Copies of this chain bind each other. A is one copy, B any other.
């Protein structure tokens, strides 16, 4: 992937602010806020903002970061990691170290997630067990799953 600019593709669609707001289920206020923080820089036709597919991708990355509990600053950092920018060796070394740090943290998160997943699965199992003892017919009220 990593086509963050989207310039190579023939895709030249644009989006209004509320297009994106609808698609990702956030408010326009939030999107403008991300712009204030320098994370998205849409063009303007007169006053109104015009978003390219690249802007859309950035927004998607921001929201993915949020779902993982990142702050906006952290997400901005990560997004910058995707597009090197600096070709200086010193900068590249620093960036690689940053990326590895972040990956280590993701590994820790992954582990936390797995453990919590298993724990919840266990809890669900025990709940179902109790439910069957108490009211065997009630289980039908659940979505067909598992």
Instruction: Give the B-binding residues of A (Cβ under 8 A).
Output: 1-2, 64-70, 78, 81-82, 84, 87-89, 92-93, 95-97, 99-100, 102-103, 106, 108-110, 112-113, 115-117, 119-124, 126-128, 130-131, 134-135, 138, 141-143, 145
Contact = CB atoms under 8 A, between A and B. Distances in A.
Contact of A68 (B84, B109, B122): B109
Contacts of A102: 120
A68 B69 CA distance: 6
B68 A138 contact: no
A130 B91 CA distance: 11
A84 B2 contact: no
A82 B119 contact: yes
A6 to B, nearest CB: 16
Given A64-B112, A116-B68, A96 B127 contact: yes
